[in-house]
Amino acid sequence: MPKEQDVLSLTRELIAFNTINPPGRELPCAEYLGRILEDAGFRIEYHSLAEERASLIATIEGHGDGLPLCFTGHTDTVPLGAVPWTRDPFGGQIEGDKLYGRGSTDMKGGLAAMIVAATRLARIANRKAGLTLVITASEENACRGSLHLTTLGGVLGNAGAVVVGEPTSNYPLIGHKGTLWIEARATGVTAHGSMPDQGVNAIYRIARAVGKLEKFRFDTAPHPVLGSPTLNVGTIVGGMNVNSVPDRATIGIDVRTVPGQSNREAFEQIRTLVGDEVELDCTVDVDGVWTDCENEWVQEVFDIMEPHIGQRPVARGATYFTDAAFLAPAYGNPPTIILGPGELEMAHKTDEYCHVSKIEAITEAYTQIARRWCGV
């Protein structure tokens, strides 16, 4: 059995892979992790998303009838941004309790911790249940990698519970809202700007829709933890030049739904609201994820995390959506927890960092979670 990886060294090695999405190029990073897991005894499968892009599924069996535990994380990161970094974004520099680099928080620190915990579990011969790692490409682009895996006909196998390693400062979260991203388009008739009566102005049409959307509120009751559903108009594009009547205008609408609310019904409500002047296309449709706080496994994870965070966890949800939106339904909606060492406030920021102490703590916590699930 190979020597155990040092979790901080592994985090730095993962940061050194440039997996900025776009274009992604996650395959070399996935293959590097695949070699570590294969050496530890896991069965490895790569699933290509595009050239130089692949997700990794690694499995190790148990010796009982229980379903495996699933750890999941992603290898891609967001671009560096326009503001220059003061540290090498791929250097994994450590200063005090901070490890810097693109992806340190979101989420290569959590991914490294999962890998180390998984290799520890592989050394235990009498585990009753197995462990699956689903390491996705293209999470940062609306979770395209995990969605792709769900279309491949059973490659995910089974899972009795799911841990998502997204940044939570090591505080276990038990769900997140659903998401609808909608493109709304208005069309018109172009004409010279000095003769607007000869055209039909698409911007005026889309503006009327924006006014309606600004005042709109869903009639869905608030979720006790996640709150109310929300709607935001995030983009607007229209027109060719200032001296032409625009014949096309588009807005992007971001809707966050709550568990129990139908995404399809929310879409139809918006279609009715904006009326016939505007056409709608749904570009992202992701259901929410929620696990009952009183679930036995959730409480067990809370037990494990309590000494690490210095308080008893209570029911909280994530503000973002995760790969669990596709993976949890594919696994039959088992209990799911979002739990990782990253700092949410640092995700996607210049000079991104993750606390060294939290990476080390979550490595121990993931190990405990895996050992308890697998009955060892």
Strand partners, 286: 179
| Amino acid at site 133 | L
Q: How far is residue 193 CA from its own chain's centroid?
A: 45
List, for residues 188-247, the tens digit of each pLDDT value: 999 999 999 999 999 999 999 999 999 999 999 999 999 999 999 999 999 999 999 999
The answer to whether the beta carbons of residues 245 and 199 sit under 8 Å apart is: yes
For residues 354-370, give the mean pLDDT.
98
List, for residues 311-344, the tens digit of each pLDDT value: 999 999 998 999 999 999 999 999 999 999 999 9
Torsion angle (degrees, nearest 10) of CA 291, 296, 301, 306: 110
- Residues 164 and 317: their CA atoms lie apart, in Å, by 13
Residue 163 banded pLDDT, cuts 50, 70, 90: very high
For residues 1-21, give the mean pLDDT.
93
Whole-number pLDDT of residue 361 = 98
Return the higher-pLDDT residue of 347 and 1: 347
167 is written with which tokens?
A: 């940044």
List, for residues 74-132, the tens digit of each pLDDT value: 999 999 999 999 999 999 999 999 999 999 999 999 999 999 999 999 999 899 999 99
Residue 376 has pLDDT above 80, yes or no: no
DSSP assigned state of 166: -
Residue 1 has pLDDT above 70, yes or no: no
- Residues 308 and 348: their CA atoms lie apart, in Å, by 25
List, for residues 261-309, the tens digit of each pLDDT value: 999 999 999 999 999 999 999 999 998 999 999 999 999 999 999 999 9
228 is written with which tokens?
A: 């109310």
Quick one: what percent of the chain has pLDDT higher than 90? 97
The answer to whether the beta carbons of residues 66 and 128 sit under 8 Å apart is: yes
Helical residues (DSSP H) of 103-190, grouped into ranges: 109-122, 144-150
Asked if the peptide bond before residue 22 counts as cis, ω within 30 degrees of 0, the response is yes
Q: What kind of fold does domain 178-286 have according to CATH?
A: Alpha-Beta Plaits (3.30.70)
Average pLDDT of the chain is 97
Contacts 24+ apart (CB under 8 A), 278-281: 278/184, 278/185, 278/186, 278/205, 278/206, 278/209, 279/184, 279/185, 279/186, 279/187, 280/182, 280/183, 280/184, 280/185, 281/182, 281/183, 281/185
Token match 């690694």: residue? 58
**Cα–Cα distances in angstroms (integers) from residue 160 to residues 28, 56, 147, 167, in the given order:** 30, 19, 19, 22
Whole-number pLDDT of residue 241 = 97
Token match 């069996």: residue? 61
Q: Is the alpha carbon torsion for 82, 83, 86, 89 positive or negative?
A: negative
Element (H, E) at 280: strand 279-286
Q: Which CATH number fits domain 7-176+289-373: 3.40.718.10, 3.40.630.10, 2.30.30.100, 3.40.50.1370?
A: 3.40.630.10
Domain boundaries, the chain: 7-176+289-373, 178-286
Token match 């490409």: residue? 137
**pTM confidence score:** 0.95
DSSP assigned state of 85: P
